[in-house]
Every structure is written in structure tokens, then in C-alpha cells.
Amino acid sequence: MMKKIIAVAVILAIFATFAAGCGSKKVPVIGISQYGEHASLDNCREGFLQGLKEAGLEEGKDFVIDYQNAGFDDSIATQIAQTFSANNVALMVGIATPAAIACFAAAEDKDIPVVFSAITDPVMAKLDKGNITGTSDKLPVDAQLDLIRKIQPEAKTIGIIYTTSEPNSVSAIAEYEEKAPLYGFTIESIGVTQQSEVTLAVDTLISRGVDCLSNLTDNNVVGVLPSVLEKTNAAGIPVYGSEVEQVKIGCVASAGIDYIALGIQTGKMAAKILKGEATAENMPYETITEFNYYINSAALAEMGLEVPAEIAEKAIESGQ
């Protein structure tokens, strides 16, 4: 009998702990679900908080944040979103597609607005209709190709590694391949299925004699960027990043989205919803098209490359 009681007690104890998360909440809670730890996504979240502040909202007084990170696990993203929904947060924020999809699913049948950020294709993710809005982070492919052409006037082929299962990467590759001829490039792309294949793909691209590599916002590639750079540096091939964090690590340059700015814009949209000035339902999502030039002078010098003055004066030095 004792055993049964203990078994029941353990189960009850676990469920009882749930109550810990359901305290009093006079101040509206913003539930932020971030898909995983990733420099761009972190910047996005920081920008979001900054955007709320710029819109005149004060943390602790006008809102409190419940920040959760799913560690790139879809089923955890689901449970995080469910928690927000059960706690009736004022607003759910999904950073990166799977997190936003989970939030939107948990908000079905409920009146909780969802705001997303860092999603390349909200239409494909079916996040364009309903009580949802946010910001989309389309890569500035034209600007990147133009930048590469100006830094390497003689270059012919650009190598790109991408994960075949990441829709963002697949659509970016298609755009690269469509636009590369306009700048006199051909694209040499290799699709991988997991992170461990990335460095093998680098070796293959180097052996095919590409003139440079260009990155997408591909999580697998960005995740092992230091070892990619080790190989390309040894081979004397410059790598162009897709955003500032990659340039900081050692890419030569990038025409990239400023994820802090993306987050700020998202934060301002969320502020409008919280203040009741607009609803997520009738606010269309916004696509960020602005980009900045980021350069890493040390990495450029190592490759013997120079940035034309017209770009250098606009560029932000991001090297160490």
C-alpha cells in the first residue's frame, strides 16, 4: 500500500510544481519562445526588448518577460507555447520558424496574439493569416553578390554550403542561383543534411577551386563556422558572412541584416498590440530589407583583399 501511495505522491508532486509558474500576474506577461541559442536569434531578442523600451514601455511596470529557449527541440517548443497559452500571457513571441509555429498552434482557439521574428518565409510557414504578425528576415542577396564582386573583381565561382532541410536555405540558394549570373558569378553549392557533413563539404568546394565562400543563415553551417574558416584560411579562400556575428568570428565581410534592428522593429509592433493601438490580426507582417556592410579588416588583410572606398566608408568594422 505504501508503495502505491509513494507512486501517487511523486506524480502529484510533479504536477503540483506546475502551480509555481502560475503566480499572480497583474502586469501583462510577454512569453518569448526562442527556438535555440544562436547569435542572430539572441540579437533578435535583445532588439525586441529594446524596441519595447523605445516604444515607451517599461519592463516590470508595463510588462514582464517570460523567456524560454527550446534548445532546437520542436517538442519542447510545443510545451513552452502550451505553457504560455495556459498561463494566458498577453502576447506570445516566437523567434525562428518552429518556435513561432508552436506558439501559433497553442494560440488556436484562444485570443492570444502571436508576434514572430526571424522568419524568412511567413507565407510558406502559414503564419501570414490570423491573430499573428511579425518581421521577416530575407537575406539581401543582391547586395551580397555586389559586395563580393567589388571586393573580388576577378572571382568566377562562389561556393555555398546549405542544409537541404532548412527552407530558409533552400529558398536563399534558389535566389543566389537566379541572381549570380547578373553579377558574372556561377554558384557551386553543396547540400548537407547535418552539421558533421559541413567540413567535408568545405573540402569538396576547395578542391573544386571556388574563389570564395558565401554563407546563408544556415544553422548547421554557422554552427561550425570556426572549423570552416580554419580550412578556408589554410586554402586562402575568403568567406563572406550573412550577418555581423559571422564577420566577428572571422568572415571577411558581409552585406547582412542587422538582427538587433529586426528585433527593435518587432518590439515596436508588439508595443502597439500591448497598448491596444493595433491588433496582430490586422497588422501585416513586415520584411526587413535594410542591410549594413560589415567588414573584418584583419581577415581581409590576411586574404590580401581590399574593400573599395565607397563601401569602406559605409561599412562597420566588426573584426576584433
| Contact footprint for another protein (CB under 8 A) | 2-4, 6-7, 10-11, 14-15, 17-22, 34, 37, 66-69, 71-76, 78-80, 82-83, 85-88, 97-98, 101-102, 104-106, 108-110, 124-127, 129-130, 164-167, 170, 193
> How far, in whole angstroms, is CA 248 from its chain's centroid?
16
User: Taking the CA atoms of the chain, what radius of gyration do you get in angstroms?
Assistant: 22
Q: Minimum distance between the CB of residue 141 and another protein, rounded to whole angstroms?
A: 19
Q: Residue 68 burial by CB count (10 A; 0-12/13-18/19+): exposed, middle or buried?
A: middle
Residue 171 or 297 with smaller CB distance to another protein? 171
- Residue number, 3 or 26, with CB nearest to another protein: 3
3-state secondary structure of 293: strand
Is the distance from CB of 266 to CB of 44 less than 8 angstroms?
A: yes
How many angstroms separate the CA atoms of 233 and 237, rounded?
6
The distance of closest approach from Cβ of residue 118 to another protein in the complex, given in angstroms and rounded to an integer, is 15
CB of 131 to another protein, least distance (A): 10
Which residues neighbour 111 within 8 Å (Cβ) at sequence distance 6 or greater?
Answer: 131
Total Cβ atoms within 10 A of residue 276:
7
The least CB distance from residue 194 to another protein, in Å, is 9
- Nearest approach, Cβ of 299 to another protein (angstroms)? 30
Could you tell me the sign of the dihedral formed by the alpha carbons of 271, 275, 276, 277, in that order?
negative
The CB density around residue 9, as the number of other CB atoms within 10 Å, is 11
Between 8 and 298, CB nearer to another protein = 8
SS3 call for 233: helix
